[in-house]
Structures are given as C-alpha cells and as structure tokens.
Structure 1
Amino acid sequence: MKENPIRSLPGIPVLLAALAVAALAAWLFVRGAQGESLPSLAAAVLLAVAALFVLVGLYMVEPNQAAVLNLFGKYVGTVKDSGLRWNNPFYGKKKVSLRVRNFESGKLKVNDLDGSPIEIAAVIVWKVVDSAEAVYNVDDYESFVHVQSEAAVRAMAGSYPYDQHEDGQVSLRSHPAEISQHLKEQLDERLGEAGVDVLEARISHLAYAPEIAQAMLQRQQASAIIAARTRIVAGAVGMVEMALAELQKGGMVQLDEERKAHMVSNLLVVLCGERGTQPVVNAGSLY
C-alpha cells in the first residue's frame, strides 16, 4: 500500500466557527429557558451537537510528522501539513513521525566466515518515508526495524572474516566502508516494505568473543612478527647482494665462493639480528 496525500482544511478557522456556533447555541438555550420556548431549546441542542461534532474533526500535525487517515478501517490518505488541521470527524487518525531516528543494536555474539565467535554491534540511522506502508504493511514498524536490523547484522557478520588473510580480501576489521555499504543494502532490502529508508549503517563495536580473545591476539601478534621478519629478510638479502656487487665492481676485491658464503652469513646476522652484534676482528688468514 503506497502513501496517498490528501487535502485537509486549516484548523483555526474551523475552530473559530465551531466556537461561534457553540456560543450561538448557548445564547439560544438561555433565551429558550427564559421564555420556555421549546424550538429555541431544540435548536440550541442541535447547534451544540453540531459544534461538538465539528470539534472532533480537529487534530494537530507537528513538523516532520504525518497523519494517516482511515474511514472505518479503509485507508483514505495522509496529511503532512503541519499545524491544526481538520478533516471528516469520522476519519480515524494515526500519527507517524517522519524524523530521522537512530538506534544501536546490542552486542551480538555471532560466528564470522571462519567460524570464530565474535562480538559485533551496529548503529542504524533511519526514517519513515512512506507512512501508509509503515502503518499498514507491518504490525509495529519500530519493532520491525529493530528486529530486522539485528538479523541483517548477524547475516552480514557471517559473510566476512574478522581479519584479512589474503591481499584484496574484504574483512570486518580492515574494510569498514565496504562493510557499512553491504549492511545498508541488506537493511534497505529488508525494511523497504515497511516504508523505511536507511540513511546510514555502520559497525560501532567489533571484537573477538572473550573466550578466544587471548588466543586470537597471540595469532595476530605472530602474523605481525612473521610479516615484519619477511620484510627484514627480503631487505637484508637485497643489501647483501648490493654489497657483494659493489665490492667486486672494478676488481676491487675478488672473493671465492667460500668467502662469499662466510660474508653473506655475517651480513645476514648483522642485518637480521634483534640485538646489536659484537664485531670479531680476524687478524690472520681466513684459512
């Protein structure tokens, strides 16, 4: 069911007219009571009932709010004009806020793509864009948004690993922009039928579950050490190659294979060692 805008009358003129009719009814009632005139009393009662009937049709619409009108259960239309408005007194009226709202899901414990238990929470920014769908397509659109948002977060968390294992792989921790976009797309798909538009969705909390947090921290540290060592060794090998080439350039130093191996070993120890090395001066021959 799509939203159908409907016209409404300004409420202030209607209110003044109803008060005037009520005042006239009171005057006729007083005159009728003084003169014991039944027609005047009857007219006063009818005018009072009419004024009360007109007043029932008044309702207030705040800025960024919509009033969904129905007649005996049938949807009639939606009024978005703010202020005091008037429509048929028989219309039922349900107010729907069109303001931007947000909520943060609680910390959800789910398994990522690798099966590791993680804790994740997300902030969802949303608003109602179709009041008729929000009222008539779902029972309680606010509860619907909360439940579907948590379901979308769970589904999204299970589609990606927590950490990046390969170059170019999208993970929850290393690609927040891509993850937020994917979560927003899932929410738009789930909440579209409720007349809700998701403005932003982003992860607000991400961590390994407490029972494996220490073990995963050690794994991250080990991966970081291996990566650092790999770069150090690659750089050291390049420096050794450059040193040998410079020494042998122009026949400055001629090294046989055994001396080259010995020099390479010493240079790698110096370049790759974590602590400062102590030099040993060889005053004699290598042999």
Structure 2
Amino acid sequence: MDRFDAYLHSLFQDDIPSTVLEAMQYSLFAGGKRVRPQLLLLALEGYGIDPKLGYPMAAAIEMIHTYSLIHDDLPAMDDDDLRRGKPTCHKQFSEASAILAGDGLLTKAFYTASLSKVDPSIQVELIQALSQYAGCDGMIYGQCLDIQEESDPDPTLEKLIEVDLYKTGKLIALPLAAAALIANHPEDRKIMNELGEAIGIQFQIQDDILDATSNEESMGKSLSDAENEKATVVSLLTLEKAKELEAAYTKSIHELLSKLHGDFGALKKLIAALETRTH
C-alpha cells in the first residue's frame, strides 16, 4: 500500500497549512489498516483493471472512514482517548479541532472522488454511492442506531446486527461496489454489496470478541464497551455463541466469493487475513 499512501499524501500538498489540516493528517496517517482501500484495489485487480484507476475513490472512502472515527471518539459519542495506539484526535488537539478535522475530511472526500478518471456517468454513480453508503441511509444511520441502542432497556441480537450492518457494513460494502462500477461490471454490484455487508458484520463481531478477550495495548484503542455497559454480541450471546455466529458469517462470505467471476485470489487472501486478525 506504499504507492497508495504516497498518492494519499499528495492530495494534501496544495492545501493551506492550518491546525485543522494538521489534525486531518494526524488521524488519516495514524497507521490504519487501510482495509477499505485494499478491498477496492484488490477487487479491481481481480477484474484485470489497473488498481491506480481506483486510487481517488479509495482515498475518498478512507477519508470518510477516518472522519467517522474522529467524530466517534468525541466525548459526545464514545468518549475514547486512544485510537490506533495514539491519543485520539480531540485529545491530541482539541474537541473543536477534531470536529473541524472530521468535517474537512468528509468534504475533501467528495472532491477526491470526483478525480476518478472514468466515464462521467460512472463518476456520478461513484459520488452518489459515496453519499448513499456513508450518509443518513448508510453509516450515519448506523451511528444513529448505535446511540439509540445505548439507552435501549431491551437490546437484542437483531438490533445489534442492524447497527453493525449500517455502521460498519455499509462502508466496507462501498469499496467493493465501487470496484464493480469502475470495472464496468454493474451486474456484480449486488453480490459485492452483500459480500461487503457480511464482511462488515463479521468484522464487528470479531471486534466484540477481541474486546472481550484482549487488552488496550494489543488492540491499539480504548476498550470502552464493557466500561460503558454497551451491548455487544458477546454480552448478548456468550463468547462461545459469538464465535459460532462469526463462523456462520465466514461461511456466507466464502459462498458469495464463489459467485464472482474473475481472478480474485488476492482479494480472498485479504478477506482470509481479516477473518484471523488479532487487533
């Protein structure tokens, strides 16, 4: 991902220096896994398309993801002090700077997506998808549900999975759906969408399991769910049942992967690595 990171850095070269810009870059280059860009670029590779064609959209998605983490860590949301092994943005700078840094990344994401060198009609579809998957019908809806769940006296697994689907799954489905658009394979968009949503739900189930079995040092972030008495898959099901549910999603993911046409070996390896991650 070194070439992609170099591209990401290049997008800020002409920006006016400011505390907000420093805060944006602090969080964007804080050592994230770049899971979403990797999914997009490896999916393009599977279609036989030069991954560089997906750099603008991959960068836009990573900006959206990073902004969501900055805002999610704020005192009004999860109130976390640690992210990726470093102080969260509002702890390193200030709450006001963190809010503006998130706003800046969100706004810059749409400009960056517009740089995609594809047919104008596909360019419009990509920007529409960015808004749809990240907005009030996607990730932000999931965040809204998440806040509501905190005061729900009767949390259920179904409600929690819905939170995971929107809050995490939509922004993992987006790069895969975008790859199908960029590669001009619209017929695969439905499968890619379902695949990404399943990966996102499984990813969050894994997080709940890791939160229950790991520590802040190895996770690189605050483990605030138990402290905040937040409902998780583990608290609702037990650790053993949570692992069984994770395995069921793994099976679904592999079934969806088998429906794709192309050489998706590298994409499958990444997904396998996500299934066995430890942080």
Q: Give the TM interval when normalised to the shorter protein.
A: under 0.3
Larger RCO (CA within 8 A; separation ≥ 6): 2
Instruction: Please say which structure displays the higher CA radius of gyration.
Output: 1
Per residue, is there more helix in 1 or in 2? 2
TM-score scaled by length of structure 1: 0.23
Per residue, is there more strand in 1 or in 2? 1
TM-score scaled by length of structure 2: 0.23
